[in-house]
């Protein structure tokens, strides 16, 4: 990604350098007032430079616009990526919320169980105290009994004392049948009551202890559940962190591309301004060429020289079967076009044969009317986009222009006759394929205008 950005940055740098070079080139152009001292060739060279620089800038602009398009589609992709990630983040957030609810429920369950256990512990402690008190009471009662038995024995009793002292515990002592008779009824009842209390208390304690064990088991289970939930929560949180990180990265990339787009937009505006400026320069130079015709060409009302044999009736400049592929004053795309484009066609009406070879290339074109060649460029230069071209002044204020020639058969100063072959159709200059570009100019007083050629020539 960063590599791509560097590429773009380098391209922009290169492009800005070009801009500076073009700007400097324009600085070198002499002011219009100096035109009078310039030759037509100087003008052509200047025109060529501008034309090439326009082409170069147009190409740069196209590249920049291509970059803008690419980056916009990248932005769209990143946008939907961000949306997807956000959707995932939303789902994770939901799941975490639900888990948090579960954990909170579990926590209150654990708290309840812990409280129950604590309550049981308190109850067990109370029971143990009760049992201890009962045991103390039993000991005291037993001592009282012993005292009475001793008194009884002293008063003439038998071997009960021995039995009493040999008894191993209170229960065996109390169940001795022979002693029961000697114990007073109240004492006997008390001991029975206490003994039965102890049994009950012991059984209660046992039940409570069982309950406590159950609760402890439940608490262990709840804690295990809690551990599982917490682990799941940690998992979700780390997924969430990953998504957030991804979102951050994608957003950063988005912002980088937005910056690039902004830069490219600015750049594109610069190119458009440069191209507009150059178009202006071209118009100025075209006007200067018209001025050349104003200074050197014939005008309406002039009488053509006899040697031109100008009969006032122009002919279609290409012999044989032809078609017009573009008209005056604009192409089908709306861009200005000040002439007509003529192609030679084959038997079936196409401009190329089955092998893609042009029928026009190398075929001759001819003077629409007799006259004198006043401009002829046969140097294979760009020449306003006309390539090899010539202009014939017909002596009556009309001039015809023939462009994109493969080569010219005439030179400046030649007098040509109507229908004379003056060059071969080619694809020099600004063309998409071989054809003849044909213009008619009319000089009237001080003005030179490019007019509708079909008002002067008719396709046979």
Which residues contact Zn ion by CB under 5 A? 339, 341, 437
Among residues 194 and 324, whose Cβ is nearest to Zn ion? 324
Express the helix, strand and coil content of the chain in percent, nearest 5 each: 60, 15, 25
> Residue 210 contacts by C-beta under 8 Å, 6 or more apart in sequence?
none
What minimum distance in Å lies between the beta carbon of 339 and Zn ion? Answer: 5
Distance between CA atoms of residues 106 and 118, nearest Å: 18
Residues 6+ apart with CB under 8 A from 431: 387, 404, 437
Q: Between 370 and 434, whose beta carbon lies closer to Zn ion?
A: 434
Angle between helices 40-154 and 185-296 (to 10 degrees): 180
Give CA–CA dist 365/383, Å, rounded. Answer: 19
Q: DSSP string of 146-163?
A: HHHHHHHHHTT--THHHH
SS3 276: helix
- Strand 436-444 versus strand 340-344 pairing type: antiparallel
Nearer to Zn ion, 339 or 371 (CB): 339
- Which CB, 281 or 341, lies closer to Zn ion? 341
- Which residue's CB is nearer to Zn ion, number 117 or number 343? 343
CA–CA dist 281, 273 (Å, integer): 12
Q: How far is CA 275 from CA 46, 66, 165, 186, 431, in A?
A: 16, 17, 131, 129, 19
- CB of residue 427 to Zn ion, shortest distance in Å: 12
Closest residue to Zn ion: CB criterion: 437
From first CA to last CA, the distance across the chain in angstroms is 62
Q: With respect to Zn ion, which residue has the nearer C-beta, 78 or 342?
A: 342
Cβ neighbour number for residue 224 with a 10 Å cutoff: 10
3-class DSSP state of 225: helix
């Amino acid at each position: 990604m960063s590599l791509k950005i560097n590429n773009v940055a380098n391209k922009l740098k290169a492009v800005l350098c070009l801009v500076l070079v073009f700007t400097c080139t324009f600085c070198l152009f002499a002011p219009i007032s100096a035109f009078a001292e310039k030759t037509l060739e100087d003008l052509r060279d200047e025109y060529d430079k501008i034309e090439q620089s326009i082409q170069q800038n147009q190409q740069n602009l196209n590249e920049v616009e291509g970059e803008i398009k690419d980056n916009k589609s990248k932005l769209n992709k990143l946008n939907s990526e961000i949306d997807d990630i956000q959707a995932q983040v939303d789902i994770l957030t939901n799941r975490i919320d639900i888990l948090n609810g579960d954990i909170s429920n579990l926590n209150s369950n654990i708290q309840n169980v812990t409280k129950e256990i604590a309550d049981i512990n308190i109850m067990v402690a109370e029971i143990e105290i009760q049992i201890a008190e009962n045991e103390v009471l039993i000991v005291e009662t037993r001592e009282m009994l012993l005292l009475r038995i001793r008194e009884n024995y002293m008063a003439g009793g038998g071997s009960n004392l021995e039995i009493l002292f040999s008894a191993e515990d209170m229960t065996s002592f109390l169940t001795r049948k022979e002693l029961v008779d000697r114990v007073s009824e109240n004492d006997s009842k008390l001991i029975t009551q206490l003994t039965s209390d102890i049994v009950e208390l012991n059984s209660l304690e046992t039940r409570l202890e069982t309950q406590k064990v159950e609760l402890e088991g439940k608490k262990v289970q709840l804690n295990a559940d809690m551990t599982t939930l917490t682990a799941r929560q940690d998992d979700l949180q780390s997924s969430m962190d990953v998504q957030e990180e991804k979102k951050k990265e994608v957003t950063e990339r988005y912002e980088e591309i937005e910056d690039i787009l902004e830069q490219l937009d600015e750049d594109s505006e610069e190119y458009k301004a440069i191209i507009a400026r150059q178009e202006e320069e071209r118009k100025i130079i075209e006007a200067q060429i018209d001025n050349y015709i104003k200074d050197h060409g014939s005008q309406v009302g002039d009488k053509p020289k006899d040697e031109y044999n100008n009969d006032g009736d122009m002919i279609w400049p290409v012999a044989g079967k032809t078609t017009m592929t573009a008209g005056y004053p604009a192409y089908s795309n709306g861009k200005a076009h000040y002439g007509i484009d003529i192609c030679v066609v084959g038997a079936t009406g196409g401009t190329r044969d089955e092998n893609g070879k042009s029928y026009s290339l190398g075929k001759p074109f001819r003077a629409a009317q007799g006259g004198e060649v006043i401009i002829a460029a046969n140097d294979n230069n760009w020449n306003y986009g006309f390539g090899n071209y010539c202009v014939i002044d017909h002596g009556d204020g009309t001039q015809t222009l023939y462009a994109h020639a493969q080569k010219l058969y005439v030179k400046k100063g030649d007098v040509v006759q109507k229908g004379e072959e003056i060059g071969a159709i080619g694809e020099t200059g600004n063309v998409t394929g071989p054809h003849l570009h044909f213009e008619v100019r009319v000089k009237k007083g001080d003005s030179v205008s490019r007019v509708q050629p079909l008002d002067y020539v008719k396709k046979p």
